[in-house]
Structure 1
Amino acid sequence: MYKNTVFSNDIVLLLFIIPLFTPQSLSLLFGGILEKGFLLWNIMNFFILFFIFLITIKTKKKYTWSFILFWLVYLVCSISVTSDFIKTLNTWIGTAVPIINFALLGNLLIKYSHQKFVVVINKYLTFLLTLNLLLLFIFPQGVVKLQHVFIDGRIADSFKRVNFMATDNTIVQFLIITILFVEIRNYLYKDNNLQRKLVWMISGLTIIILWSGTGLIGYSVFLISATLFLFPKFKKIPLSINMVYIIGLVAFLVIVVLRLQTVFEFIIVKLLKKDISLSSRTEIWDIAYSMFLKSPFIGFGNNSKGWLIEYNWYNYYAHNLILDILLQGGVIVLIGVVLILNYSRMTLRKQPDKYLESLFACCILAIFTLNITESQFLSIYFYIPFILAWLLSTYNPKKLSI
C-alpha cells in the first residue's frame, strides 16, 4: 500500500523523524532559535500526519486517539490553573506534539512498512548517539552550560552540563531508546549486525564518561535484564511485562513512599558515591507531597515544565514520575497516564512472541527504574516503548509480509 506514497522515500520519512528527537542543547544554542525551528517543524508535520490519519482506513486508531485525548485533558487541567495562557499553550505544544506525531507516524506506517519505519529511525538514532559521543570528547564540559537561577532571579555561579542530546541524568533514556530500536531491527532481520554491537558499546562508553548515578543504574538494569532474558544464551527465559509493572509499583512504594533506600546503601554510597538522601531528593519529595495536597485533582499546570518546587533558593521538579505527574496535572492526569500505560501492557501481554514481550519488558523496567529518582513525564523517550509495544503487538510483524 505504501510503496507508492511519499513515506516510501527515506529522505521524506526523515523529514518527519528528525524533529521528533530534538537535541536538548538546541534549546540553549543561539538563543533557542534552533529549538523554535524544530518546534515549528513538528507543528507542520502534525497537521500533515493528522490529516492522513483521519482519511486513512483499515488502521486501528483507538490507542492513538487515546493519546490525543490524554494530552487535551492535560492541556485543560493546565489552562484551568494558569495565569499565563500563552506560555502554558506553548509549553504544551512543545511537549505533546512530538509525542502525538510519533504515535501518528507509527500508526500510519507500521502495518504496511514496519521495517522501513524501524530501520530509518534506528539509523538516525545511531547517528545522533555517535555524534553525541564525539561531542563529549570535543566539549567535555558540555556543548552548552545551563546555569542555575535563584528564585529571586539571581544567576548562580554553578551550572549544569548539557551534552548534545541531553544532560547527564536525562541522556540515559535516549540511550535506552536507541538500543531498543537496534534490538527491534535485529529481531526483524536476525542478522546481529555490527551496528548492534556498536550501539551497545557507544551507549556504555557514554554512561561511563558521564558517570551519572541515575544513568549508571538505568543502563545497568537494562544491560543485566537484557543479558538474562534477551541474549542468545538465556533468551528462552521470558520476562513478563506484568512482572515489570509490579516491580515498578513496588519500587515506588519502597523508595519514594516508605523511604527504605537504606537497603541499597552499599550501591548508593559505596559504589555511586552519593548520599543516602539521593542528592536531597527525599527533601524534594516531602515538599511535593505537601504541594499535592493543596491541589490534588488538577495540579499546578505545566507552564514551568514541572519546575514547581522551591528548595534551597532554587526551583526543582519532583524528581519522581508519579509525584511530577501529580504536581502538574493532579489525580486526573495520573489516571490518564495509568490508562495509557495499562493499555500497552495488556496489548503486549497478548503478544504471542515472548521474545518481543521480553524485549519491551527489559526496556520498560529500565525506564521505570530511572523514573524513581527522575521524571521523564514530558519526554518523548518515555512514551516511545509503550507506543511501540502497542504497535508491534497490534500489527504483529510475524504476520506481516517481510
Structure 2
Amino acid sequence: MKKLMNQRWFIALVFMVLYKPAMFSQMPALHTFDTISNVFKVMVIAVLGVWFVYFYQKVSLFFVGIVFFEVWRVLATIYCGGNYTSLFIAILNALAICLVVEMGLKTDPDALLDGASFTLGLFVLINFATVLLFPQGMYEFNTFTQNYFLGYRNNSIMLFFPAIIFSIVRSLRKYNKLTLSSFVITAVSFATVILAFSATSVIGMTVFTLFLLLALINKMPNFLNIITYLAINIAYFFGVIILRLQEAFAFIIVDMLGRDLTFTGRTKIWDSALAAFAKSPVFGVGEIENQASRDLIGATHAHNYYLDLLYKSGLPGFLIFFAILIICGMALYRNRKNGKIPFIVSGAICAFMIMLQSEAYYNIYYFFSILTLAAFIPYALPKKDEDGNFIFEEKGKHSLKKKHSYHYYLRK
C-alpha cells in the first residue's frame, strides 16, 4: 500500500479531499455532497495516519511541534468551555496535510509535486473562472457576498500559495526554470487577488513576487532569512498593535494616503483582544463561536493572527507557533546555498508572516503544506548524480549543474 505514495493520481486525489473548495461547505445546495466528501476526508486522514505510524515511524521535530500546537488549542478550548468539537475536523485536516507532504517528499518527491500541482493548480483556474463570471460574488455566506469557488476572497490566498509553491518547486526541481504551467498558476493567482481585491493578499503576493524575481536573476541575499522575518514582524506587532506608533506617521497615513489611524476601526478590536488576553494569558479564551467573538472583541477574529493566537490560545500557543516557524526557517537557511528552491520557499513564508499581521485566516492550515515542505526541503531539491551535481531534464535529456551536496554544506 505504501506504493500509492508513488502514484501521482493518488496524491492528486488526496489533495482534492484535503483541500476541498469552500464552496461545497458553504452552499446549502451542495450539503449532501459536502457530507459525503467529509466521510471520504475522515477515511483519508485515518489511512494517512496508519501509514505514517506503520511505514515511517520516526516522528520529526516539526511534526511534534504541529501536534503540540493543535493539542494545546484543544486543551485551551476545553479548559475555557469553548466549542472544541468544531476544531477536530480542521485539526485532523491540518495533521493530514503535514503527513501527506512529509511522506510524499520522503517516498517520491516528483509524484508529490506533480499530484499537488495538478489539483491545486486546477482549483486556482476554476476559482479564477468564477471570479470572471461572477465579479460581485458567486453566493452569499455569513453576510459576505464576495464568495467564489474557493470561498471568501480574503481566505483564498491560503490555497493560492500552496498551488504556486508546489508548481514552482516542481519546475525548478525538474528543469531549473519556470515552466509555462507554473507561470500561469502564479499569474492567475495574482490576477485573482487583484480582481477580487484583498489588500492583504495583494501585499503578500507582491512580497513573494519580489523574492521570485530575485531568485530568477540569481540575487538571493543571505540577510533575507527567518531571523529578519521575525525581527520585522515583532517590531511591527509591538510598534503598531501594542504601542500604536502609527500615530507618529499620521502625516503619511492620513495626509498622504487618506487612511485613518484606527485602521478602519481595528484598533478597538485589538484593544479588546489584548484585554481578553490579559485576563487569561495562559489559556486565552479558547476557540469560540463567531457571535461569542463579536460580543467579546467586536469581530469574529482579531484581524491579526498573532494577536488572535494570544487571546484564544494564550502565550503557550503563540510561542509554539513561532517555534514551528523557526524550525522551518532554519531548515531553509541551512540549505540556502542549494539553489533557488529554498530561497523561493523562504519568500513564501516571509509573505505569509506579513499577511498574518492583518488577517486571522480560518483555513490557515492549508499553508501547513508549505511549512512541511520547508522543514523537509532537502528532499525537494533536484536529483543528484554520484558526484553531487544537480541533474535536470530538458526536452527528454538530462543536464548537469555543478553543485555540492546538501551533506557537504552540513559539514561546513
Tell me the TM-score normalized by structure 1: 0.85
Q: How does 1:187-198 map to 2 (within 5 A)?
A: 187-189=172-174, 190-198=176-184
Structure 1 residues 11 and 247: alpha-carbon distance in aligned structure 2, compared to 1, 3 A threshold: same
Distance in 2, matches of 1:19 and 1:207, equals 24
| CA spacing shift, 1:310–1:274, aligned 2, 3 Å | farther
User: How do 1:311-390 and structure 2 match up within 5 A?
Assistant: 315-351=299-335, 352-353=337-338, 355-376=340-361, 379-390=364-375
Structure 2 spans left out of the alignment, 5+ residues = 386-390, 392-412
CA distance in 1, matches of 2:97, 2:255: 39
1:208 maps to 194
AA matched with 2:7:
N
Residue of structure 2 equivalent to 1:153: none
Alignment pair present for 1:185 and 2:170: yes
Secondary structure in 1 aligned to 2:152? Answer: coil
Matching of residues 85-234 of structure 1 within 5 Å:
87-89=83-85, 91-148=86-143, 159-189=144-174, 190-227=176-213, 229-231=214-216, 233-234=217-218
- In 1, the alpha carbon distance for the partners of 2:6 and 2:254 equals 49
The alignment status of 1:72 with 2:71, answered yes or no, reads yes
CA contact (8 A) 2:173 2:380 kept: no
C-alpha contact 1:248 1:365 (8 A) present in aligned 2: no
Q: What runs of 5+ residues in structure 1 fail to find an aligned partner? A: 149-158
Aligned equivalent of 2:219, options 232, 235, 244: 235
In the alignment, which residue of structure 2 is the partner of 1:45?
44
Tell me the alpha carbon deviations over residues 91-135 of structure 1, each in whole angstroms, 9 at most, x when there is no partner: 212221111001111222212201110121111111111100101
Instruction: Report the alpha carbon displacement of residue 396 of structure 1 after superposing the two structures with TM.
Output: 5.7
**Alpha-carbon distance in structure 1 between the residues aligned to 2:185 and 2:254:** 27
SS in 1 for 2:357: helix
* Deviation larger for 376-385 or 275-284: 376-385
Moved more, 197-206 or 374-383: 374-383
1:196 and 1:225 mapped to 2: Cα distance? 15
Q: CA deviation at 1:359?
A: 1.0
Over aligned residues, Cα RMSD in angstroms? 2.8
1:296 paired residue number: 281
Segment drifting more, 94-103 vs 19-28: 19-28
TM-score normalised by the chain length of structure 2: 0.83
CA distance in 1, matches of 2:250, 2:141: 31
**Residues 55-80 of structure 1 deviation map (CA, whole Å, 9 limit, x = unaligned):** 11475534223322331222122111
Q: Distance in 2 between matches of 1:329 and 1:28?
A: 26
Preserved contact between residue 71 and residue 96 of structure 1 (Cα < 8 Å): yes
Give the secondary structure class of the aligned counterpart of 1:141. coil
Do the aligned partners of residues 186 and 79 (structure 1) sit closer, same or farther apart at CA in structure 2, a change above 3 Å counting?
same
CA distance in 1, matches of 2:296, 2:206: 30
Q: CA 1:68 to 1:305, structure 2 compared with 1: closer, same or farther past 3 Å?
A: farther
Distance 2:242 2:373 in 1: 30
Q: State which of 3, 13, 16 in structure 1 corresponds to 2:14.
A: 16
Q: Which residue of 1 aligns with 2:26?
A: 28
> In structure 2, do the counterparts of structure 1 residues 204 and 112 end up closer, same or farther at CA, with 3 Å as the change threshold?
same
Alpha-carbon distance, 1:274 to partner: 5.0
Tell me the distance in 1 between the aligned counterparts of 2:291 and 2:54.
Answer: 36
Deviation at 1:142, TM superposition (A): 1.5
Equivalent position amino acid for 2:12 in 1: L
Between the aligned partners of 1:147 and 1:269, the Cα distance in structure 2 is: 35
Shift of residue 338 of structure 1? 2.1
1:22 to partner: Cα distance: 2.0
Name whichever of 45-54 and 55-64 sits farther off: 55-64
Please state whether the residue corresponding to 1:162 is helix, strand or coil: strand
Distance in 2 between the 1:167 and 1:246 partners?
31
Q: How does 1:208-287 map to 2 (within 5 A)?
A: 208-227=194-213, 229-231=214-216, 233-238=217-222, 239-261=224-246, 263=249, 274-287=259-272
User: What secondary structure does 2:84 align onto?
Assistant: helix
Q: Distance in 1 between matches of 2:292 and 2:360?
A: 11
Cα gap change, 1:381/1:275 in structure 2, threshold over 3 Å: closer, same or farther? farther
- After TM superposition, give the deviation of residue 276 of structure 1 in Å: 3.5
- Separation of aligned partners in 1, 2:37 and 2:125: 21
CA separation of 1:26 and 1:279: change in aligned 2, threshold 3 A: farther
Residues 365 and 204 of structure 1: CA distance in aligned 2, closer, same or farther (over 3 Å): same
User: Aligned with 1:88: secondary structure?
Assistant: coil
**Does the 8 Å CA contact 1:324/1:377 hold for their aligned counterparts?**
no
CA contact (8 A) 1:59 1:108 kept: no
Asked if 2 retains the 8 angstrom alpha-carbon contact of 1:244 and 1:365, the reply is yes
How far apart are 1:305 and its partner, in Å?
Answer: 6.5
**Identity over aligned residues, as a percent?**
21
Shift of 1:367: 0.9
Letter in 1 for 2:124: L
- What is the number of residues matched between the two proteins? 381
